[in-house]
Amino acid sequence: MNIKITKTNSPKPHPDPSVLGFGKYFTDHMFTMDYAADKGWFNPEIIPFGKFLMHPASTVFHYGAEVFEGMKAYRRQDGKIQLFRPLENAKRMNLSAQRLCLPTVPEEDFIKILNALISLDEAWTPSAAGTSLYLRPFLFGNDESLGVHPVQNARFMLIASPVGSYYKEGLNPVRILVEDQDVRAVKGGTGYTKCGGNYAASLRAGKRAQDEGYAQALWLDGIERKYIEEVGAMNVMFKIKGQIITPELSGSVLPGITRMSCIELLQQKGYTVSQRKISIDELISALENGSLEEAWGTGTAAVVASIGTLGYKGKQYTVGGGKIGKTTQELYDTLTGIQWGTLPDTFKWTQLIK
Ligand code: PLP
Ligand code: COI
pLDDT digits (tens, 9 = 90+) for 12-34: 999 999 999 999 999 999 999 99
Tell me the pTM: 0.97
Smallest CA separation from ligand 1 atom 4, residue = 233
Beta strand pairing status for 71-75 and 132-141?
antiparallel
- pLDDT beyond 80 at 295: yes
Contact present, 172 and 215 (Cβ < 8 Å): no
Q: From the CB of 155, is ligand 1 less than 6 Å away?
A: no
Specify the long-range contacts of residues 257-261, CB closer than 8 Å, at least 24 apart. 257/71, 257/84, 257/85, 257/88, 257/89, 257/92, 257/300, 258/234, 258/298, 258/299, 258/300, 258/303, 258/304, 258/335, 259/235, 259/298, 260/88, 261/84, 261/85, 261/335, 261/347, 261/349
Band of pLDDT at residue 165, cut at 50, 70 and 90: confident
What does the pLDDT average to over 321-329?
95
Contact present, 308 and 318 (Cβ < 8 Å): yes
**Ligand closest to the CA atom of residue 257:** 1
Tally Cβ neighbours within 10 Å of residue 42.
10
- pLDDT beyond 90 at 170: no
> E strand or H helix at 137, and its extent?
strand 132-141
Average pLDDT, the chain: 96
Q: How far is the CA of 69 from the centre of ligand 2 (A)?
A: 8
Ligand 1 pocket mutation, candidates 182, 300, 332, 336, criterion most atoms within 8 A of CB = 300
Q: From the CB of 234, is ligand 1 less than 6 Å away?
A: yes
Instruction: Kindly report, residue by residue over 62-119, the tens digit of the pLDDT.
Output: 999 999 999 999 999 999 999 999 999 999 999 999 999 999 999 999 999 999 999 9
What does the pLDDT average to over 219-231?
96
Question: In the structure, which protein residues have their CB atom closer than 6 angstroms to any atom of ligand 2?
Answer: 70, 199, 233, 299-301
Question: What's the CA gap between 104 and 102, in Å, rounded?
Answer: 7
Beta strand pairing status for 174-178 and 303-312?
parallel
Q: From the CB of 300, is ligand 1 less than 6 Å away?
A: yes
Atom number of ligand 1 nearest to Cα 89: 15
How open is the CA angle 262-263-269, to the nearest 5 degrees?
A: 85
Contact present, 20 and 134 (Cβ < 8 Å): no
Specify the long-range contacts of residues 10-19, CB closer than 8 Å, at least 24 apart. 10/48, 14/123, 14/124, 14/126, 14/162, 15/162, 17/126, 17/127, 17/128, 17/131, 17/162, 17/164, 18/128, 18/164
Return the percentage of the chain with pLDDT > 70, whole number: 100
Band of pLDDT at residue 250, cut at 50, 70 and 90: confident
pLDDT top residue among 354 and 197:
197
For 105-138, b/e burial (b = at least 16 CB within 10 A) is: beeebbbbbbbbbbebbeebbbeeeebbbbbbbb
C-alpha distance across the termini of the chain, in Å: 16
**Ligand closest to the CA atom of residue 217:** 1
Band of pLDDT at residue 172, cut at 50, 70 and 90: confident
Give me the pLDDT at residue 156, please: 98
Smallest CA separation from ligand 2 atom 5, residue = 70
- Residue 318, SS3 per DSSP: strand
pLDDT top residue among 232 and 58:
58
Tally Cβ neighbours within 10 Å of residue 346.
8
DSSP state of 195: B
Beta strand pairing status for 132-141 and 153-163?
antiparallel
> E strand or H helix at 293, and its extent?
strand 292-299
Give me the pLDDT at residue 108, please: 98
Give me the pLDDT at residue 171, please: 77
Atom number of ligand 1 nearest to Cα 300: 16
Question: What's the CA gap between 257 and 96, in Å, rounded?
Answer: 14
Contact present, 118 and 133 (Cβ < 8 Å): yes
Beta strand pairing status for 273-276 and 228-231?
unpaired
